[in-house]
């Protein structure tokens, strides 16, 4: 983990107060804050830092040193700094701090006065109308967020007041969605990042970019996933490995690199902050799926990872849970006319007697007691529960319309 990435996460944890989160953004030119008053600017010069990173003991020492400098500044000035300059390997590095991404990117003298730093946030809408504090002010990352279930989750989290980082291989699609949401809300509520969840270097680079832009992460929604249906006797090893790599290994890689950032932030807040990792699983992670073994196996395995990661990461104030949705019939995974599951299942003969895609769809709708597929809002309600419920970790929460019931 790079030193600059550590600094962003630690500063975000230090800036947490009164249950409110801030964004922390690295400033391209440290000189932009030279004219700030002593109350607005915290300078930390006496740290012997390498740009390459620190071991666990070094991270702990760095957190302690920055906390002391922060607390000394607040005690002397009775306000929090609007910008922080830290010397790393002989070079000054500046960070802006604000309630929103835009404030952090463009800190202003005088903004250390907390009363004047508050920015009106878009009033929560939709399912958040009566749960406005659940994700408001938090930084969320949604992998596979440019389309399908992921896009619906991104839209709902932005409605709830979260700053959402859209992480996707489809960078152009992620950017289009971010631009649309930012225009709709009249400020920066979403940012686009490229990343391949199956590649460690790609995920690490993505996290560095995210932390440089917003400071750290409160909620990771590990949503990126793929499905290839087929009989065990016909499926190629390449297809089996592809599904496993994205759904199972991808969740491991994302957790591996996001958890240390969350831990740094939470430690800097002295235990006041809690982070969440939510894996979007499937009802196929709760029961087997005929002619769909690669997908179901990857989802069953992911629940094992969820439970194991939950036991380990709870010490860092990180909760790890899974949501197991039913079928999102309207999304591209099911309805894409070329590669969707309805077409795949029709071609593979998974539904006896089905002659058309509509036959396949009616067959699957008939399996759900509530007579419809799962929708993004249904999943986001479950995300809200997981984030809001501080006394739960390691769980797999079904959202299936009664199709799969726990026993």
Q: Strands 139-143 and 41-44: what pairing?
A: unpaired
For residue 340, how far is the Cα from the chain centroid?
Answer: 26
Contact status, residue 371 vs residue 382, Cβ threshold 8 Å: no
Element (H, E) at 319: strand 318-325
Catalytic residues: 295
Query: Which parts of 39-174 are beta strand (E)?
Result: 41-44, 83-88, 91-98, 139-143, 163-168
- Nearest CA to 379 among 157, 144, 103? 157
**In 10 A of CB 126, how many CB atoms?**
11
The residue written with tokens 């994302």 in the block is 254
SS3 content of the chain, % helix, strand, coil (to 5): 45, 15, 40
List, in sequence order, every residue forming a beta bridge with 190; answer none if it has no partner. Answer: 164
DSSP, res 399: E
């Amino acid at each position: 983990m790079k030193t600059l990435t550590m600094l962003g996460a630690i500063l975000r944890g230090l800036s947490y107060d009164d249950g409110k989160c801030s964004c922390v953004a690295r400033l391209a030119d440290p000189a932009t804050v030279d004219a700030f008053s002593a109350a607005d600017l915290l300078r930390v010069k006496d740290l012997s830092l390498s740009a390459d990173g620190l071991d666990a003991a070094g991270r702990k020492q760095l957190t302690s040193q920055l906390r002391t400098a922060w607390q000394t500044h607040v005690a002397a000035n009775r306000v929090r700094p609007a910008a922080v300059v830290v010397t790393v390997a002989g070079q000054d590095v500046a960070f802006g701090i604000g309630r929103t991404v835009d404030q952090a990117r463009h800190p202003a003298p005088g903004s250390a006065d907390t009363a004047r730093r508050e920015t009106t946030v878009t009033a929560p809408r939709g399912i958040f109308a009566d749960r406005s504090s659940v994700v408001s002010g938090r930084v969320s990352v949604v992998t596979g967020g440019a389309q399908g279930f992921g896009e619906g989750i991104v839209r709902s989290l932005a409605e709830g007041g979260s700053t959402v980082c859209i992480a996707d291989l489809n960078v152009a699609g992620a950017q289009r969605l971010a631009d649309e949401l930012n225009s709709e809300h009249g400020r920066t509520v979403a940012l686009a990042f490229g990343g391949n969840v199956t590649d460690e270097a790609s995920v690490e680079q993505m996290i560095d970019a995210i932390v440089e832009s917003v400071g750290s992460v409160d909620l990771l929604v590990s949503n990126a996933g793929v499905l290839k249906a087929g009989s065990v006797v016909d499926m190629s090893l390449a297809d089996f490995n592809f599904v496993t790599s994205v759904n199972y290994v991808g969740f491991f890689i994302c957790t591996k690199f996001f958890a240390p950032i969350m831990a740094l932030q939470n430690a800097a807040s002295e235990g006041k902050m809690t982070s969440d990792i939510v894996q979007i699983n499937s009802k196929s992670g709760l029961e087997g799926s005929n002619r769909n073994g690669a997908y179901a196996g990857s989802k069953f395995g992911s629940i094992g990872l969820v439970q194991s990661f939950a036991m380990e990461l709870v010490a860092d104030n990180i909760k790890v849970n899974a949501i197991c949705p039913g079928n999102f019939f309207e999304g591209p995974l099911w309805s894409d006319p070329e590669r969707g599951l309805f077409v795949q299942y029709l071609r593979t003969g998974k539904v006896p007697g089905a002659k058309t895609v509509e036959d396949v769809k009616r067959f699957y709708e008939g399996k759900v007691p509530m007579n419809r597929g799962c929708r993004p809002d249904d999943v986001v309600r479950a995300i809200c529960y997981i984030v809001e419920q501080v006394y739960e970790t390691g769980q797999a929460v079904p959202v299936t319309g009664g199709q799969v019931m726990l026993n």
